[in-house]
Amino acid sequence: MKENLKNIILWGFVTILVFLAGGNVFAYSNSGNDTCECNSCIDCTNALNDNNNCSSTVKLNQSITNQAGSCIYNPVNWTNKIFDCQGNTIQGTGNGYGMYLQSNTENLQKNTETITCLNKYNITPDTVAFYHSNQCQHCQNMMPLVQNLTSKGYNFLWIEISTGENNNIKQDCLSGLLTSQYIPQFGCPSNGELHVGEFSSILEMENFAKKCKEDALYPSRDNNTVKNCTIKNFYYGIYIRETINNTITNNLVEQNLDTGIFLYSSPNNTLISNTASYNGYDGIWLLQSANNHITNNVANHNGLDGIILSYSSNNNNISNNTAISNGNGIYAFGGSDFNEISNNEISNNTNTGIGVSNCASWNLSLCPSGNLNNKIENNEILNNAVGIFSNASSSAINNNFIHSTYSDFNSTNWLSSFGDNNACDNPDGWNDTSMKNTGKTGCTFTWECVYSPDNDNDGYKSVSCGGTDCNDSNALINPNTVWFYDADNDTYGNATNYTISCNKPSGNYVLYGLGLDCDDNDANITHQCCTQYDFDNNAAVDIFDVVSALENLSGGNAQIYNTICSEANGNGRIDLIDLFALIAQIVIG
């Protein structure tokens, strides 16, 4: 009896070990409401694949460190789901992807003709075409691997060159996928991918076949949300390819070797309130991606570009972002047209604030095409080497505020670019439309007039900025300045002989702040003869002097006519001590 019980316990223990070694697919937890919680990359991936328990949201409950390779890599059921890191960090070791998401819907649409043709032969789109020759040693090396994977349930179509086996199918359906330059070849109809030559291992071949199957059976990876994640130290932080309607929000993606957030052939996505900084090349990169909204993001201190649009990335909205201390702030090239770049703060970038060019930012000899009809409006572009750079491109450039280290605008040929109401100091050949119409050159406004039209803060704009202040570096001089005539030239003016003007009148006039002279015909008699505390100069010390003092102390326009002989504590101005002394004088009197 004891021996039987011992055997039962032993076999139970072995069973548990086998189960654990095989991996528990439910290592993540179901917290209800179609929401699951996970603690590791593999658990989170499995949860994202679970449509029964986790069809709405997957939450990461703790940070992940030193992840070797990719963390979340294209779960086949990741569609219409939220992945929420809840502020936790996913940290890699310098390679792979923090998150990789790729849909195959577009490829299936592109390959509809091929897939329809294969259906005539009862061949499914997840079937890998194995193009080979029995006389080819490289092909013979691959045959056992193909046979092994066939036994695992993967589908292969053998097409033999010399015997003609299934060559009719190649000619009829696969001529656009398979080439005749080199064998062996492996082609996938569902995603259009082609591998030429031997696979290095059966695992590499299986990954190819597995992706072919998954792309046929689970084509969509759309309508997802990634939020509240810190992703760092991967090759790419977040990589989105050929997917639509995803939202990437409130993530910190930094210190990745290449790019923080990468959209590749992915339209209609929203990137909002992310920080993509300190990445090796780009903070946010759009490649062949259109109709995306890139809003309220921070892309600072990246090695190449803060935000880059490349190769026909059209109709994107790039607004209210910050791009500071990159190589380039925001850069567009390669036929990226009809984008709106507006209300961004772009400063301290080594090369350009905003660049629109036919050449790539990382290789100025790679110049596929320029860009057309982009709007560059209402941006603050400060302290970059060049504010706005354009080459072989035409843009509408309006209402930007630009102050640069070398030049505010730069182009060898603006083509049909136009714009107005820009503020700059060094236009370098750029002319606003309104300036052209008046025969003038440059920007409509100077940078100083936009950012500091009242440099001395006296309430009056400088004359050069369309105001009335003739001396904007001295707050005492403005259109409301009182100049007192000084007949005896003792630097103390006559209180009854004055003029109000911004410019000093001709003759012996002094500012009221130098004191008042009760006998302006005798240079030996100056301000000492004034009536102490008679701030309003009405020959009486009364409540009206209190009013003048209070208004002066509160920043009003009341003038104190006898500061030097009235202030009590020797600090050269009227303050509360003098006001209390005035009140005491009135009470005593």
- Close Cβ partners of 566 (under 8 Å, ≥ 6 residues apart): 530, 532, 533, 534, 535, 560, 574, 578, 582
Q: Who has greater pLDDT, 76 or 3?
A: 76
- Of 398, 390, 404, the C-alpha closest to 347 is 404
Highest mean pLDDT among 18-22, 295-299, 481-485: 295-299
Please write the tens of the pLDDT for every residue from 114-164. 988 999 999 999 999 999 999 999 999 999 999 999 999 999 999 999 888
- 104, with CB counted inside 10 A (0-12, 13-18, 19+), is buried
The pLDDT score that the predictor gives to residue 106 is 67
Q: Rounded mean pLDDT of 446-450?
A: 81
The pLDDT score that the predictor gives to residue 358 is 96
Highest mean pLDDT among 1-5, 285-289, 509-513, 577-581: 285-289
How far apart are the C-alpha atoms of 247 and 210, rounded to whole Å? 27
Q: What band does 559 get if pLDDT is binned at 50, 70 and 90? A: low
Q: Is the pLDDT at 458 greater than 70, yes or no?
A: yes
3-class SS at 185? strand
The pLDDT score that the predictor gives to residue 468 is 87
The pLDDT score that the predictor gives to residue 483 is 87
CB atoms within 10 A of CB 513: 16
- Close Cβ partners of 87 (under 8 Å, ≥ 6 residues apart): 228, 230
Q: Who has greater pLDDT, 557 or 500?
A: 500
How far apart are the C-alpha atoms of 208 and 213, rounded to whole Å? 9
Sign, Cα dihedral of 276, 70, 234, 364: negative
The pLDDT score that the predictor gives to residue 11 is 44
In this structure, of 103-117, 226-240, 267-281, the range with the lowest mean pLDDT score is 103-117
Please write the tens of the pLDDT for every residue from 32-64. 999 999 999 999 999 999 999 999 999 999 999
Q: What band does 565 get if pLDDT is binned at 50, 70 and 90? A: low
The pLDDT score that the predictor gives to residue 451 is 73
The pLDDT score that the predictor gives to residue 63 is 98
How far apart are the C-alpha atoms of 556 and 558, rounded to whole Å? 6
Q: Who has greater pLDDT, 366 or 25?
A: 366
Q: Who has greater pLDDT, 326 or 501?
A: 326
pTM: 0.70
- Close Cβ partners of 436 (under 8 Å, ≥ 6 residues apart): none
Q: Is the pLDDT at 430 greater than 90, yes or no?
A: yes
Q: Are the CB atoms for 560 and 549 separated by under 8 Å?
A: yes
The pLDDT score that the predictor gives to residue 5 is 44
How far apart are the C-alpha atoms of 93 and 96, rounded to whole Å? 8
How far apart are the C-alpha atoms of 105 and 111, rounded to whole Å? 10
Q: Rounded mean pLDDT of 420-434?
A: 95
Q: Who has greater pLDDT, 90 or 549?
A: 90
Mean pLDDT of the chain: 88
For 106-217, CATH gives 3.40.30.10
Please write the tens of the pLDDT for every residue from 210-249. 989 988 887 788 999 999 999 999 999 999 998 999 999 9
Q: What band does 589 get if pLDDT is binned at 50, 70 and 90? A: low
Cα 140 to the center of its chain, rounded Å: 52
- Of 86, 90, 84, 33, the C-alpha closest to 66 is 90
Q: Is the pLDDT at 514 greater than 60, yes or no?
A: no
In this structure, of 2-6, 62-66, 207-211, 489-493, the range with the lowest mean pLDDT score is 2-6
Whole-number percent of the chain with pLDDT over 90: 63
Q: Who has greater pLDDT, 3 or 312?
A: 312
CA dihedral in degrees (290, 291, 297, 299; nearest 10)? Answer: 20
Q: Is the pLDDT at 9 greater than 80, yes or no?
A: no
Q: Are the CB atoms for 134 and 108 separated by under 8 Å?
A: no
Q: Is the pLDDT at 22 greater than 50, yes or no?
A: no
Please write the tens of the pLDDT for every residue from 515-528. 566 666 666 555 55
Q: What band does 390 get if pLDDT is binned at 50, 70 and 90? A: very high
Whole-number percent of the chain with pLDDT over 70: 88
For 530-588, CATH gives 1.10.1330.10
Q: Where are the domains of the chain?
A: 106-217, 530-588
Q: What band does 6 get if pLDDT is binned at 50, 70 and 90? A: very low
Q: Rounded mean pLDDT of 296-308?
A: 99
CB atoms within 10 A of CB 46: 22
The pLDDT score that the predictor gives to residue 531 is 66
Q: Is the pLDDT at 377 greater than 90, yes or no?
A: yes
Q: Is the pLDDT at 101 greater than 60, yes or no?
A: yes
Q: What band does 78 get if pLDDT is binned at 50, 70 and 90? A: very high
Q: Rounded mean pLDDT of 336-348?
A: 99
